[in-house]
Amino acid sequence: MKMKSVTTIIIYVVAVCGFIAYMYMSWVPSTSDQLRIEMLDIGQGDAFHIRTPQGFDIIVDGGPDRRVLTELGEVMPPYDHAIELVIATHPDADHIAGLTELPDDYTIERFISSGSQKSTGFSRELDTWNEQGVEVGNAVRGMRLDIEENVWLEFLHPDPPNVHEDPNDDSVMFILHYKQFSALFTGDAPTEIEDEIVEKYDTFGHSTLDVDLLKIGHHGSRTSTTAAFLEATTPSIALISVGVDNKFNHPHAGPLYKLNAFGIRVFRTDILGRIICYTDGNGIQCAPES
């Protein structure tokens, strides 16, 4: 009897120690010296999570549905339920429908959009966010948003009051800076807007549009990614968020051909699933989630 109870105690102690070791090995520290960009695997649409070295969470678009919640749960630390900044590049369902689900699981502090009011459902949701104390604002060309030391966002588009009929044309475009590293997010901006940005980039404070990472516009559609844009932005890595066997046949051959011609390494969610990129402020490394 005594022997049995000793065995039971040993089993309990081993189980508890094993569990503590598991927690220790799986623990995600709240701060680090690296900035992380994650292209979430949410099907046909866009959803990105950026975590800064000081633990500031930024969501850029939320994909078409609730899958974004599971994805965020897997990339954010389990003790962190606050998203400091949400950016909706434009009000197409494949970019914003998932955002309306975020308040189910997370507290949102600030929201920035293009200001385009295409979706009445989303406008209604935004009113609710506003009532709940979320700071709601619009992106404006030339706006700089300091996130923390060495991390800031620089907005390139839209350029009110020049409002377009197609919400894609008013996609929020911004550059994320961390020390020497920079990444350009483009929403679904078409070639005309890319041309406009290339033409004007040095008139609103940039010496160059040179970035390390480019989020390819409109899921690799032929309506985005001109050679001139790639030449101006000179990324080494391109991210394409696209659904498996999507009905639009994204990404199209044209943009893929150009990316290949420029020697840019492409990461696609339809082939690789969730993509995680790390930077210490100099280089960038991307890989699919194992």
Partner 1 sequence: MLHKSVALALLCLGIGVGIGAGTVITIQALYLIVVGIAGSVLFVFSSKKTKAVSMLFIGAVTGMARSQFVPSFNENPYEEFIEFEATVVREPELLVDSQRFVVESTSVEGLVQVKAPLQPRARIGEQLLLRCMLHKPEPFDGFRYDRYLERYHISALCSFPGREVLGRTQSVRTHLFDFKSRLMSGLRHTLAPPEHTILLGALFGDKRAVPQKIMDAFRTTGTSHLLVISGLHVSLLTAMIMSMCKALRMPRRTMIITVIILLVTYVIVTGGQPSATRATIFGATVLIAEMLGRRSQSLRVLLLAGTGMLLLNPLLLIYDAGFQLSFGATAGIIVFGQWFQDRMTFIPVQLGLRSSIATSLSAIIATAPLIAYSFNNFSPIALFANTILVPFMPLVMMGGIVVTGLAQVSHAAATWVAIPLYYLIHLMIRIVKWFAQLPFASIEIPDFNVLILLFVSAHLILIGWYLAIRKTEQ
Residue-by-residue DSSP string for 24-54: HHH---S--S-EEEEE---SSS-EEEEE-TT
**Any contact of residue 64 with partner 1 (CB under 8 A)?**
yes
Scanning 72-80, 132-140, 145-153, 281-289 for contacts with partner 1 by CB under 8 A, the matching segment is 72-80
- Its sign, for the CA torsion 61, 63, 64, 65, is negative
Binding-site member from 1, 2, 26, 131 for partner 1 (CB under 8 A) = 26
Scanning 69-77, 180-188, 215-223, 246-254 for contacts with partner 1 by CB under 8 A, the matching segment is 69-77
Compare residues 72 and 284 and give the one whose CB is closer to partner 1: 72
* Contact indicator for 45, 98 with CB cutoff of 8 Å: yes
Compare residues 121 and 137 and give the one whose CB is closer to partner 1: 121
Compare residues 101 and 210 and give the one whose CB is closer to partner 1: 101
Scanning 95-103, 175-183, 207-215, 260-268 for contacts with partner 1 by CB under 8 A, the matching segment is 95-103
Binding-site member from 33, 104, 131, 165 for partner 1 (CB under 8 A) = 104
CB of 23 to partner 1, least distance (A): 5
**Any contact of residue 246 with partner 1 (CB under 8 A)?**
no
Compute and round to an integer the Cα radius of gyration of the chain. Answer: 21
**Any contact of residue 88 with partner 1 (CB under 8 A)?**
no
Binding-site member from 69, 126, 242, 277 for partner 1 (CB under 8 A) = 69
* Contact indicator for 142, 159 with CB cutoff of 8 Å: no
Burial-class residue 36 by CB neighbours within 10 Å (0-12, 13-18, 19+): middle
Give the phi and the psi of residue 14 in degrees, each rounded to 5.
-60, -45
**Any contact of residue 109 with partner 1 (CB under 8 A)?**
no
**Any contact of residue 110 with partner 1 (CB under 8 A)?**
no
**Any contact of residue 45 with partner 1 (CB under 8 A)?**
no
* Contact indicator for 36, 59 with CB cutoff of 8 Å: no
What gap in Å lies between CA 257 and CA 99, rounded to an integer? 32
Residue-by-residue DSSP string for 103-162: GGT-EE-EEEE------HHHHHHHHHHHHTT-EEEE--TT-EEEEETTEEEEEEE--TT-
**Any contact of residue 21 with partner 1 (CB under 8 A)?**
no
**Any contact of residue 100 with partner 1 (CB under 8 A)?**
yes
Binding-site member from 1, 2, 4, 131 for partner 1 (CB under 8 A) = 4
Close Cβ partners of 159 (under 8 Å, ≥ 6 residues apart)? 140, 141
**Any contact of residue 123 with partner 1 (CB under 8 A)?**
no
**Any contact of residue 257 with partner 1 (CB under 8 A)?**
no
**Any contact of residue 244 with partner 1 (CB under 8 A)?**
no
**Any contact of residue 11 with partner 1 (CB under 8 A)?**
yes
Q: How many CB atoms lie within 10 A of CB 280?
A: 16
What gap in Å lies between CA 27 and CA 264, rounded to an integer? 34
Binding site for partner 1 (CB under 8 A): 4, 7-8, 11-12, 19, 22-23, 26, 64-67, 69-70, 72-74, 76, 78-79, 81, 97, 100-101, 104-107, 121, 124-125
